[in-house]
A and B are shown apart, each in its own frame.
Chain A
Amino acid sequence: MTTTAQLILPRTPAKPFYFNTSAHLLRITTQKANTLAEFLAALRVCPDDSIFEHTFRTLQEHHFIREGFSNDFAHWALTACNQPGLAEQLASVDVREFTSLGELRDRFIQILEKHLQLNPLDGAQIAEETFYFCAADIVVMPTNFVAETMQDFVNGLREASVHSIHHHFIEARLRLKLMSNDFSQWLHEDVGLTDAARALNRIDIYTATLEDVRRQMVRILERALT
């Protein structure tokens, strides 16, 4: 009688995974807005860095919030402009759907244009607080974590800083120009763990802190390896 043994496949990666991280120095740009009309005008011309800062990067700064925050534009519309409907539309923009900042900017512009078309008087209302468009100077750095085996990779995920998790999991989407992230790419291309790669990519970054994301990734990988 034969029994089906549980397979524990050694997963030796084709190449190592180098955990990097990034540091950001936040700059205030020359664009600012006191009304929704000024906000729309600034949104059209602000640098791509600014769009990145207020959508992708802000998730890192607010990674400890599980609900009620998705991007700085939505937050300002709600708290400074008292526009909950507009804020909800701006908050519904999921950065994971985008692979270019141009497209992301266009989506926000579309939402604002439509709102101001339907509510022209809102454009001139003075906000409680000015919105300052910021951007960040980014320095990418190596870390001590290099994964040559799957165990190394899981250990790296456990020990790397949240900045490193954000760098590889969220910021990577723009670098790779794909709706994916560094971890999933490596798991799929260099390890052959395609299902685990997809599962990682589906983790919800909006209702989880980066520590939650870390824990979920480790759980997914531990399940995939047994």
Chain B
Amino acid sequence: MKLVKPQTATNEHDDAALSAQPVSLHPERRKAPRTWETPPAPAPAPHLDDYQAVAGAAEIDELRFLARQLKGKAVKMVNSTAVGGGVAEMLNRLVPLLGEPEVATHWDVITGGNDFFEVTKAFHNALHGAEYELTRAAQEIFLTYTEQNRQRMQFPEDMVVIHDPQPAGLIARRKDTPGRWVWRCHIDLSNPNPQVWGFLRPFIEQYDAAIFCFTVLCAAVAPTPVSVLPVH
């Protein structure tokens, strides 16, 4: 029986080639890019030992020793977004790394509408020194979503670490929780807009401690104990 060639312009085979090789019935479909039916597997979780070549084996051992003091403790990290931002990138690595020496670390993200994120974005710029008129409406939006998140979230951990200003208002739950609260600030507060800082400061001052990247970035914060993680 003679094999029938599919009638396509792109499928030019002579008979000899045809008998030797199977021919695709729908060659044009094969040229289209494949679509993924399932998302690609996430990157494997990092391990402390992965950093040996960069940080040094002795430094990794030091970290492990320090972490032993926190073994069995639980930490909660809270920030404003799970993806797309320096803090999210950082926590993506830090949370699994802390799990390795058995420091149970939970990561929670605040929720809010576009209006909330527009307001907090404006706050962010204002804290960096941009001009901004803090309206009553902006304050209400911030406080409303803060309250919603406060009611939704639980804080049974030994330590709660709040990252940056967006979730800073969650501190109002502190009195109902057993742990210490730390504010981790990743932004530059050396020249904050006075209105916005004046609005946020009463929240920050309730924290047990605050952590900054450089001393010059934390001019505005006192009397909360302030620590600095020098970035080399």
Interface residues of A (CB under 8 A from B): 21, 23, 25-28, 30, 61, 129-130, 132, 134, 139, 141-144, 159-161, 163-164
Contact = CB atoms under 8 A, between A and B. Distances in A.
A61 B215 contact: no
A21 B61 CA distance: 11
Interface of B: 56-59, 61-62, 65-66, 215-216, 218-219, 222-223, 225-230, 232
Contacts of B222: 30
Nearest to A164: B58
A144 B219 contact: no
Contact of B58 (A21, A28, A130): A21
25 contacts: A21-B58, A23-B66, A25-B227, A26-B228, A26-B230, A27-B227, A28-B226, A61-B230, A61-B232, A130-B216, A132-B215, A132-B216, A134-B215, A134-B228, A141-B65, A141-B66, A142-B65, A143-B61, A144-B61, A159-B57, A160-B58, A161-B62, A163-B58, A163-B62, A164-B58
Given A27-B225, A28-B226, A141-B62, 6 more contacts: A23-B62, A130-B216, A141-B65, A142-B65, A161-B59, A163-B62
Nearest to A63: B232
B222 to A, nearest CB: 7
Nearest to A24: B230
B101 to A, nearest CB: 14
A33 to B, nearest CB: 12
B194 to A, nearest CB: 17
Given A160-B58, A161-B59, A28 B228 contact: yes
B62 to A, nearest CB: 6
A76 to B, nearest CB: 11
Nearest to B222: A30
A28 B59 contact: no
A180 to B, nearest CB: 24
Q: Which 7 A-B pairs have the closest CB atoms?
A: A161-B58, A28-B226, A132-B215, A26-B228, A141-B65, A161-B59, A27-B227
